[in-house]
Amino acid sequence: MKRFAVFASGYGSNLQAIIDALKKDKVSARLCLVVSDNKKAFALKRALKAGIPTVTFDPQSFVTRQAMDRAMIKELRTFHVDFVVLAGYMRILSPVFVKAFHNKILNIHPSLLPSFKGAHAIKDAFDYGVRSTGVTVHLVDEKVDHGPILAQEALSIRAKDTLRTLEARIHRTEHKMYPKIIDLFAKGKISTRRLAA
């Protein structure tokens, strides 16, 4: 069975959805480590409660991003991690890290990429007035919110939606979608249509 690590910086609702799916045997892989850059992340409490080892890498303790990423790679090797799942990890990974886990890093983003990259994707889509937005799961390359797409789910923005209801609908979609895609990825049953240019 493949082994994976989840990276999370904050609330960790996607991590929770993954943990819940694992408990129901809906993900055929082993979550062996939760990594954070923020020791106060609620995600770490969720991991602790589920009995999953955690480690925090404080960016302040490293001179460069590369130095931190090298330390993370070392830790992941210790845990024999096969692939990495970003779930609300708010830091950009350096090329050193991306190369070490080439095509083995998944990210979830709350928009239909390549639209609305960045940290405020749901609000940006809502404010723009688009009729449809959604969720993307993709492989991570060296650019931000970019890389070969594994799966997308679209949501219509309804006239009665507020930013809050849209956020809730997007998060529900994420929580259903991410564990399924992780399961398929772990089994080698999902591929990209083509590489994003």
**Angle formed at CA 96 by CA 90 and CA 102, multiple of 5 degrees:** 85
Q: Are 43 and 36 in contact (CB under 8 A)?
A: yes
Phi, psi of 172, rounded to the nearest 5 degrees: -60, -45
> Does 136 contact ligand GRF by CB under 6 A?
no
Which amino acid appears at position 75 of this protein?
A: E
> Does 148 contact ligand GRF by CB under 6 A?
no
> Does 5 contact ligand GRF by CB under 6 A?
no
Residues tagged active-site? 109
First to last CA, the chain: 32
Q: Are 89 and 57 in contact (CB under 8 A)?
A: no
Question: In this chain, which stretch among 8-16, 53-61, 65-73, 76-84 interacts with ligand GRF, using CB under 6 A?
Answer: 8-16
DSSP structure string for 159-179: TT--HHHHHHHHHHHHHHHHH
Q: Give the dihedral sign, CA 179/183/184/188.
A: positive
Binding residues for ligand GRF, how many (CB under 6 A)?
A: 12
Pick out residues in 157-176 that bind ligand GRF (CB under 6 A).
Answer: 174
> Does 21 contact ligand GRF by CB under 6 A?
no
Residue least distant from ligand GRF (Cβ):
88
> Does 46 contact ligand GRF by CB under 6 A?
no
Question: In this chain, which stretch among 9-17, 18-26, 50-58, 75-83 interacts with ligand GRF, using CB under 6 A?
Answer: 9-17
Q: What does the binding site for ligand GRF look like in residue numbers (CB under 6 A)?
A: 8, 10-14, 87-88, 108-110, 174
